[in-house]
Structure 1
Amino acid sequence: MNMHARPPQLLPEHAAFQTCAVRWVRHWNEHLFSFAIERPASFRFRSGEFVMLGLEGEGKPLMRAYSIASPTWSDELEFLSIKVPDGPLTSRLQTIRAGDQLYLGKKPTGTLVADALLPGKRLFLLSTGTGLAPFLSIARDPDIYDAFGQIVIVHSTRRVSDLAYHDELTAQLAGDPLVADQALLQFHYIPTVTREPFRTTGRIGQLIEEGWLFHPPVSGERALNPETDRVMLCGSSEMIRDFSAMLERHGFDEGSNAKPGTFVVERAFVG
């Protein structure tokens, strides 16, 4: 036993939130980390949804919305987060360890779900930074592979080390027990880096304009087509704003749970 190891952080019970133990933490670099918590037996969510997560603050829980990165069938809830040195929550959250407790909201929600999209052939999941998180859940959902012929994740970061889950995605989710066989044929991963040398460089918009996004193994048209393509956007406010405008100029319309469309964004994270 390590006599210098600190005891797990335990939280007081709170009527509005559940307390869940941290299972594991993975630090990708000095700016980015992933972690997972135990999943309550009663917790249900749709791929792409987010939930409130947090720690005890000054007299009340300090909560923030986090997209769920784990698939709907998993017995744990996985998240991807940036590290903000002076952030009210993330400055503390980045120090959590296995065994610590976090507050978990009881009701997941969100608009970045397949229910908000019309049927289509190709599904493009365009993300920057930690906007990758909900797409990790969506790409491991067996129903997605039945609904679309191709699923394409595009992840843009500033640095190579910011490409979280790069190895797992490059391997086309080979270790996934439910979608590995389908992903081998239908799933494509396109990482791109904007500030360091890499095999693919440039912002996502540049890849679309130059047609690079539609090179093999992605098959079909060499441009986005609202008749057959569906798009999900998750990332910075600037990225969401610019891409939404671009998609609308090309005939796409934003969908919602009440009225499905040809593209969707998570409005909860857009300033």
Structure 2
Amino acid sequence: MTDTLAVAEKPAKPSPYHEAEVLWVKHWTDQLFSFGLSRAEDFRFRSGEFVMIGLPTEGGKPLVRAYSVASPFWAEELEFFSIKVADGPLTSRLQKIQPGDTVLVGKKPTGTLVLDALTGGERLHLIGTGTGLAPWLSVAREPETYSRFGRVIVTHTVRKAEDLAYRAFFEGGIHEDPLIGDEARAQLTYYPTVTREPFHNAGRITDRIRSGDYFRDLGLEEGFDPAKDRVMLCGSMAMIKETAELLEGYGMREGSNAEPGDFVLERAFVG
């Protein structure tokens, strides 16, 4: 008589993603949109971090990419700001989502665009291009930002004025925020620039920094001061690399989660 050994099935491997419900979608232009997702009760992140989000595919691995979380750590929902790419593997589908649809959200947020990666200072410059504004939407609604820095400057460089998504929010809406509204009204400055059409702040942010216009417009002494200024960078690789070189020229040191410094950039996006 032969004994038959029962082979226990291996437990299913936990998914690295939460299934989040689409709560709302806002199309800013034919190239930019934002959307809100439900937030799992156990999802925790620091303001400024990014997470993998995406959509399932038929019979294969989900299609995902890294997105900065645009909502602050305390918000009940997760907000994201995205570009639309007609032939993009993910964004060609993601731009068509509707309330009630499901989007996958990675369970492990990470990133260096966080306050923990900076040493103390007096002024915080949040410099972004395009959808690189997303982490600033989170950091600018973080109470610790205003307790650590006396002045917070959000810059947003785009090609056309219509691309200044969230302009109304930074020019007034944030002042009504129940948690940090009063602090933002007193301490936050919004500095938009447009590169391809007439605008009161015209040109690339790096050009305005080099010419000194950036500092004059803000009523600051020309140049970044390593003793006072702290900077975060997010957006195009060209802008990030160019600005990082400028900052190093002023004697500023790049920081990280392991070793905080004078400025930080997101190397996961830079490559």
Q: CA deviation at 1:151?
A: 0.3
Q: Which runs of 4+ in 1 moved over 3 A?
A: none
Equivalent position of 2:76 in the other structure: 75
Equivalent position of 2:96 in the other structure: 95
% identical equivalent positions: 55
- CA deviation profile, 1:232-264 (whole Å, cap 9, x unmatched): 000111111111111111101100011010000
- CA deviation profile, 1:187-216 (whole Å, cap 9, x unmatched): 000001000122211110122123222246
Under a length normalisation based on structure 1, what TM-score does the superposition of the two structures give?
0.92
Please list, as runs of the form range in 1=range in 2, the aligned pairs for 1:33-44 lying within 5 A after superposition.
Answer: 33-44=33-44
Kindly tell me: are residues 91 and 20 of structure 1, through their superposed partners in 2, closer, same or farther at Cα, counting changes over 3 Å?
same
Query: In structure 1, what is the Cα distance between the partners aligned to 2:244 and 2:75?
Result: 32
Q: CA deviation at 1:181?
A: 0.3
Please list, as runs of the form range in 1=range in 2, the aligned pairs for 1:59-208 lying within 5 A after superposition.
Answer: 59-171=60-172, 173-208=174-209
Q: Does 1:231 align with 2:227?
A: no
Equivalent position of 1:242 in the other structure: 242
The alignment yields a C-alpha RMSD, in angstroms, of 1.4
SS at match of 2:214: helix
Is the contact made by 1:39 and 1:76 (CA closer than 8 Å) also made in structure 2?
yes
Equivalent position of 2:6 in the other structure: none
Q: CA deviation at 1:172?
A: 6.1
Is the contact made by 2:215 and 2:222 (CA closer than 8 Å) also made in structure 1?
yes
Is the contact made by 1:233 and 1:264 (CA closer than 8 Å) also made in structure 2?
yes
* The structure with more radius of gyration: 2
Q: How many residues align?
A: 258
Query: In structure 2, what is the Cα distance between the partners aligned to 1:184 and 1:223?
Result: 25
Query: In structure 1, what is the Cα distance between the partners aligned to 2:172 and 2:211?
Result: 26
The answer to which of 167-176 and 115-124 deviates more is 167-176
Is the contact made by 1:172 and 1:189 (CA closer than 8 Å) also made in structure 2?
no
Is the contact made by 1:112 and 1:266 (CA closer than 8 Å) also made in structure 2?
yes
Is the contact made by 2:223 and 2:250 (CA closer than 8 Å) also made in structure 1?
no
Is the contact made by 1:70 and 1:77 (CA closer than 8 Å) also made in structure 2?
yes
- CA deviation profile, 1:90-144 (whole Å, cap 9, x unmatched): 0000000011000110010001111010100000000000000000100001110
Is the contact made by 2:206 and 2:242 (CA closer than 8 Å) also made in structure 1?
no
Amino acid at match of 1:173: I
Amino acid at match of 2:238: E
Unaligned runs of 5+ in 1: 1-12
Query: In structure 2, what is the Cα distance between the partners aligned to 1:34 and 1:53?
Result: 13
